Structures are given as C-alpha cells and as structure tokens.
Amino acid sequence: MISGTSMDGIDVAVADLQFVGDTVELRPLGAATHDYAADLRAALGAVMPPAATTAEEICRLDTFVGQAFAEAARAAVDRFGGGAVDLIVSHGQTIFHWVDPEGRARGGLQLGQPAWIAEATGAPVVADVRARDIAAGGHGAPLASTLDELLLGGSKEIAGALNLGGIANITIVGSGAPTLAFDIGPANALIDAAVSAASGGAEAFDRDGIRASRGRVDAALLERLLADPYYRRPPPKSTGKELFHGAYLFEHVAAVGALEPDDIVATATALTAITVADVCREFGIERLVVSGGGVDNPTLMERLGAELPGVAIAPIDGYGIPAAAKEAYLFALIGFLTVHELPGSVASATGAASPAVLGCVLPGRHGFPDIVRRTSPPTRLVVIT
C-alpha cells in the first residue's frame, strides 16, 4: 500500500509471490485506489512544505492516515485476498523528504502508524521502508528501481522505467551497466498545483489533459522553470514537494507577469515532458516503460512522444502490471524480500554504500510470517497473469 506525492488516495494491490529458483514470480490478484476523505486530504496538504505545522497536528495525522490505511487494507484483503493474507506492506504517506543543500538525503517522514493496520487485519506489517537505505548513505528513492531492475534487467537495449507520479522518477537498465535511478523533477506536482489554483480548489488534476491541450506554453515561464539547478545535479538524487510545490510555481509566474490559468497548466506540462526527454536523450534510452497517474494524461504523453520520436514508449501494463498500481506491487515485492531477509534496494540506484534489507516488521495476531529464508537475492521478476 502507498499514497504517493499527489496525495489523491491509497493505492492497494494484492499479490501472490514465490521463489522459483532465482526468480520471483508475482501473480497480481487485484488492485484498487481508496480515496482519502476530503478533510484528511486537505489536512495533509495544509502541512506540506512550505507550510508550518505542529507536533500535535503531525501526531493526529499519523493516526488518521494509519486508520485510513487500515480500512483500505481490510477492504483489499476481503476483496482480493479471500479474507486473509500472510503479510501487509505499508509505505504510508510521505510529508517530508529531507535533502540538504549539498544534495544528500538526510531523512524522510512517512505518516500512517502501521499498528492500526496490524490491529485491524491481524496480519504482520512491514513499514518505514525508506529509512534504512538513507542510513546507508542512499536517498531512500527511487525504490522502484528494485522492481525495475528485476523486470527489465535482461534488456539488450537501454530501457527506462519512468514513473509519472507527483514527482517523475526513472530507472535506467541495459547494456551491462549498473542500474541507475533518480528523481527527474516534477511530473504532476506543478500541473496539479496549477489546476487547483485555476479551479479554486475544485479540480485536483488535469483530467484527460484538457487544460494543457487548450493552453499555450509560455516561453518565459518555461525558461525560468527549466533554469532550476536541480536538473543539472548528477545522480543519484531525489526531490519532492519540499522544492516543487504550488508556491514555487507561482513565484515564477509572478516574475513573468499575469498568465491565463490554462497557459500555466500547459507550461507545467511541457516542463515535465522536456525534463524527462532530456534525461532519455542524455542516457541513450531506446525504450520507455511508463507508469503512474501521468499515463492517463494524453496531452502529457503526446508531448513526451513528440520530444522523443525515436523512442518506443508504452505503459507497463504490457508486462502484466497496471500502470496505476505499479508502486503498490513494488512495495509488495519489497516486503516479500524483507521477510526473507534479502535487500530491497539497489545501491547503484539510490546511492547507498550497500543494498539494505528495508523496513521494520510488526508482528500480526499470530506473530511473524512463517518463511523459509533464503541466502541469495533474486535475479529476475516474472509477472504471471
């Protein structure tokens, strides 16, 4: 389970996972998204940077998000798991990702107290999955590289696994080089902020890319946005709404003068497509496998295709994983590796000194999972549909 940087709801996926030799077989059993209650989503948005908050509010939200995750878990277990599962993995809701001025990750805070999940379902829970990689010198992100390397690692061409969530991240595999992964920059974060402002908060995202399609890209605003030094930092690197938030966007808008709301949306959409395309060209990516909410924005996808005419671009659905549920299945895989005492991170991708076994495990009603532990990590992931 995960709620991403867009904070639009909790993505839940249920899967059967097993080892067959050095291969992990993942059989998707079902996935769903549980929307946050409007007041909870508003409360989460109100504590996001650059806003100030209190320890009391963080405590309350940790409980409320934990209870929301518990409700989503119980519904998914009943709907897709036949009423019982061996393990639940909860990423929670990131509200702060701490990167110092030199670009080193120092910590991250995910809300959603996992004890509520364990108590509601009776199942053991893996949580707090990013902290160990950060402690090992990594960025704790993008953890999608774990799934991406196992799924695409045998590629004879240079392949990129792109996630278009609130933030765009990419994993680059192929040609025998170590796996590389990093956050590119905003994907939907600034688009969503522009849409929310344009609609007075009535719209959370650019449904079907309509606003971007009827807007005009403003060259001056785009130039200012592209000048952000983050894009020129070498990987490994990570970012979030601590940098790319609504106030950031509208500071740049104010510097260029009044713009039509849809022109701001169109410009933010162009920023995403251009920054992704720049990375693909820099690393010679020949095939791009895309997931995340941005897949459902045709204007963004068309703009990306126009920027990369020689690159094969397709959603991850062709591999048997729904694009909207990829990160939920990712954390199922990470939890599976954790209880087998195997690393769930790729050190070359996160920048850590070494791969790490991720997360903390809360016992379920009957203790911990009964697992025959392994001594060697998997080399391949196969999705069985």
Q: Which of 319, 340, 356 is the last residue of a domain?
A: 319
110 found inside a domain: yes
What's the mean per-residue pLDDT of the chain? 96
Task: Please determine, for residue 176, whether its predicted confidence score (pLDDT) is greater than 90.
Answer: no
What pLDDT shows up at residue 187?
Answer: 98
Write down which residue in 290, 319, 348 finishes a domain: 319
Residues 184 and 116 in one domain: no
The answer on 131 and 236 residing in a single domain is: no
In this structure, is residue 1 part of a structural domain? no
Report the number of distinct structural domains present in the chain: 2
* 36 occurs within a structural domain: yes
Q: Is the pTM of this model over 0.85?
A: yes
Q: Give yes or no: residues 31 and 114 share one domain.
A: yes
Residues 204 and 295 in one domain: yes
**Could you give the CA distance from residue 171 to residue 374 in angstroms, rounded to a whole number?**
26
Question: What residue type is assigned to position 271 of the chain?
Answer: L
- Percentage of the chain surpassing pLDDT 70? 100
| pLDDT on residue 369 | 86
- pLDDT over 80 at 175, yes or no: no
| Nearest in space to 13 (alpha carbons), one of 85, 80, 67 | 80
- Domain membership of residue 2 (yes or no) is no
User: Is 75 a domain residue?
Assistant: yes
How does pLDDT run across 150-169, given as a tens digit for each residue? 999 888 899 999 999 999 99
Same domain, 315 and 335: no
pLDDT at 154: 80
The owner of tokens 């997360």 is: 359
> Which of 302, 319, 336 is where one domain is finished?
319
Strand partners, 313: 288
Residue 369: which domain range?
Answer: 9-144+324-383
Average pLDDT over residues 277-281: 98
Residue 233 dihedral angles phi and psi, to the nearest 5°: -70, 140
Does pLDDT of 45 surpass 80?
yes
Same domain, 194 and 315: yes
CATH number at residue 27: 3.30.420.40
Asked whether residue 60 falls in the same domain as residue 181, the answer is no
